[in-house]
Structure 1
Amino acid sequence: MHDLQELHAFVTVMEHGSLAPSAQHLGVAKSTLSRRISQLEARLGQPLLRRQANRLIPTEAGLLFHGYCQQILALAEQSQRRLDELREEVSGQVTVQVHQTLARAWLARHMDTFLARHPGIQLTLGHPAQPPTGPDEEAIWVWVGPLTECGLRQETLGRLTQGLYAHPDYLARHGTPSHPRELASHAWVDLLGLTQTGLPLQHPHHGDYHFTPPHSRLRVDQSTLHIDAIARGQGLGVIPRWLAAGREAHHPGELSLCLPDWQPPSLAVSLLYPYGRQSRKVTALLDFLRQRVPSAWRGEESPAIADPPSAALAPPQRSLHH
């Protein structure tokens, strides 16, 4: 078993080239440093350093051992750091900025579990209208959709596949489209103006179709309001299938998937956090969020049967349809 003080002494002498500055750097007497080097050479059974003029230079064994020595010290430091982290309490203030699509449908219910698991945590939840534009050292972000470089690490948690939905009563009155070109004759419910510049649709056999939705008489800025409007029969709109499955689980028959073979673009769900070493509270939260990703986001199960969204998406009572 190697003595870490002896290994540190050897690496330091390799860096400085002589005993005096090495001893000063380590804060020990020159005689103490010399003794540690001698003890290490005795343990190894061969010299590691030899004197040349006023400097100590490595022998062949010293050059070979130096690389291993650095690895041993690095592993020792890493293990100590991880052990120190285990002693660090998961407590303090943390902030999560979450896209409004996931605020109620996914994050809120899981944060109750996280707070129960870590009583020392004080949590702030926000749902800003725009993604981060620069480094944010105070918050973790969960975002849906495209992102630009903002100085934060961007980790993809999964993707939300989307579909075209309407209420069955609306389709009974206005007809069910059989091709994207028929969508132009339908009322359109727009979320945040996201489809007003056009909606690309992809078919596995018939290629791509670029649909330009008609002017929307109803525009909303929240996913819950968007789904509510479509479920009330106001028209067609694009909804993540995972959210639609959750709505249908609580209120069957409110949403009907149109043109199932024509696929709108999927949306990336991204986790954003600062670069570098994280505090234990942030590491605990990041790991927790990764563990709570629904299987449907990873494409592991059918969206209709995968972990559904929270009942928070459902209205307090069933709507009346005309």
Structure 2
Amino acid sequence: MDRFDAMTVFVRVVEAGSLSAAARVGPQSLTSVSRHIAALEERLGTQLLRRTTRHLALTDEGRLFYERAKAILGEMEELEGALSAGRDEPSGRLRVAAPGLIGRYRIAPLLPRFLARYPSVDVDLVLVDRTVDLVEENIHLAVRLGRQPDSSLVARKLAEVHMLTCAAPVYLKRRGTPKSPGDLRDHDCLTFSDTAGAIEWRFRSSSTQVSVRVTGRIWANSLYAVVAAAIEGGGIVRVPSWQVAHEIAAGRLRTLLDAYRPPPTPVYAVFDHARRSSPKVRTFVDYLVDQWAGSDLETVTSR
């Protein structure tokens, strides 16, 4: 069995929705498609598809294999295109994940110029306020805030952003204004993270870092949600400056604990080592670095 051919057939079956539909797209015989899938499952030692009389569904292992196989085939297509053209020209579909507002205000406006410069590239911009799995979700690169832990990912710094602690005037009138980070323990803090529960907010006092474990009655995995709750007086929120610039300017939120504001948070482009040589990934990261050179994203929403 040719593994590349079997991988191609498997991806075609998943996207077509059935073995017979994949055979028609091929085009190849239904028997040939079935043999490729059976041989692939035998080689891997696991079931990839669950077949019924009405439809087929991916197993957990099948979904993982599909996402990785699709990424590999896409990279192969891009590489073949670049080599056949005799140059390292970016081409193919590029999937970029980024936090909602930073994607909306600081990436989306840059895309038309990038696409005009590289007409063989298409871009999918996925806006999510969570950490995406690059492999499972077939993301070529992600824009992330904060220091990146040692991992299999390549991280390249793009810019910096300030983290602001703020609350609505109505909340401060009702509950009082915290004077130091420790006072936050007696307040309702609106927490944003991937998983529910108490989290730590870090501040700086002189040259000393201060960490405060905060809790509250509202948790969300969306920055939009916690900011919306803060505006309505739901509690104290701590978010990137670009998330609340308009609300602060309009007086809907007030900054707190400015004397304890921590150093700026770095913004990185992260991608898998396997994509380091991908022309479309490398070119897009270079483009962001050039466009954001020396940038502080504090006023990102005032454009």
Check conservation: 1:200, 1:264, Cα contact below 8 A: yes
Once the two structures are TM-superposed, the CA of residue 246 in structure 1 deviates from its matched residue by 4.6
Report the counterpart of residue 201 of structure 1 in structure 2. Answer: 203
Q: Could you say which residue in structure 2 is the equivalent of 1:234? A: 234
Whole-angstrom CA distance in 1 between matches of 2:114 and 2:247: 25
3-state DSSP class of the match of 2:152?
coil
Q: Which residue of 2 aligns with 1:211?
A: 212
CA offset digits 1:22-72 (Å, max 9, x no partner):
xxxxxxxxxxxxxxxxxxxxxxxxxxxxxxxxxxxxxxxxxxxxxxxxxxx
Give the TM-score normalised by structure 2.
Answer: 0.59
- 3-state SS of the aligned residue for 1:308? helix
Partner of 1:271 in structure 2? 269
What code does the residue aligned with 1:292 have?
Q
Paired residues of 1:169 and 1:233 also in contact (CA < 8 A): yes
Residue 115 of structure 1 corresponds to 115
Give the corresponding residue for 1:283: 282
Distance 2:281 2:205 in 1: 42
Contact 2:188 2:234 in 1 (8 A): yes
- Report SS of the residue matched to 2:224: helix
CA separation in 1, counterparts of 2:265 and 2:189?
20
Aligned mates of 1:241, 1:203 — CA distance in 2:
20
Where do 1:81-230 residues align within 5 Å? 85=87, 90-100=90-100, 102-127=102-127, 129-132=130-133, 139-192=140-193, 196-204=198-206, 207-214=208-215, 216-230=216-230
Q: Which amino acid aligns with 1:270?
A: Y
Contact 1:200 1:265 in 2 (8 A): no
Which amino acid is 2:198 matched to? Q
Work out whether residues 106 and 310 of structure 1, in 8 Å CA contact, stay in contact via their aligned partners in 2.
Answer: no
CA shift for structure 1 position 96: 1.2
Q: Percent identity?
A: 22
| Displacement after TM superposition at 1:191 (Å) | 0.6
Aligned to 2:49: none
Q: Report what 1:254 is aligned to.
A: 252
Measured after TM superposition, the shift of residue 137 of structure 1 is 8.9
Separation in 2 of the partners of 1:209 and 1:151?
30
Query: Contact 2:197/2:219 (CA < 8 Å) preserved in 1?
Result: no
Give the whole-Å Cα distance in 2 for the aligned partners of 1:135 and 1:233. Answer: 38
Tell me, in whole angstroms, the C-alpha distance in 1 between the residues paired with 2:91 and 2:257.
49
Whichever of the two has the greater Rg, that structure is: 1
| Cα 1:182/1:138, change in 2 over 3 Å | closer
- Partner of 2:277, secondary structure, is coil
Change (3 A) 1:127 1:147: farther
CA distance in 1, matches of 2:254, 2:265: 21
Aligned partners of 1:156 and 1:268 also within 8 Å: yes
What is the Cα deviation at residue 277 of structure 1?
6.3
From the superposition, tell whether residues 153 and 208 of structure 1 become closer, same or farther in structure 2 (CA, over 3 Å). Answer: closer
C-alpha distance in 1, partners of 2:225/2:131?
18
* Cα contact 1:195–1:213 (8 A) shared by 2: no
What TM-score comes out, normalization by structure 1 length? 0.56
Moved over 4 A (4+): 131-138, 274-277
Residues 257 and 294 of structure 1: CA distance in aligned 2, closer, same or farther (over 3 Å): farther
CA distance, structure 1, for counterparts of residue 182 and residue 138 of structure 2: 47
Contact 1:131 1:143 in 2 (8 A): no
Question: Shift in Å at residue 195 of structure 1?
Answer: 7.9
Please say which of residues 228-237 and 93-102 is displaced more in the overlay.
93-102
Q: Gaps spanning 5+ residues in structure 2: where?
A: 1-82
The CA deviation string for residues 192-222 of structure 1, in whole angstroms up to 9 with x for no partner, is: 25882332321127x44332213x2111111
2:221 counterpart letter in structure 1: D
Structure 1, unpaired ranges of 5+: 1-80, 312-322
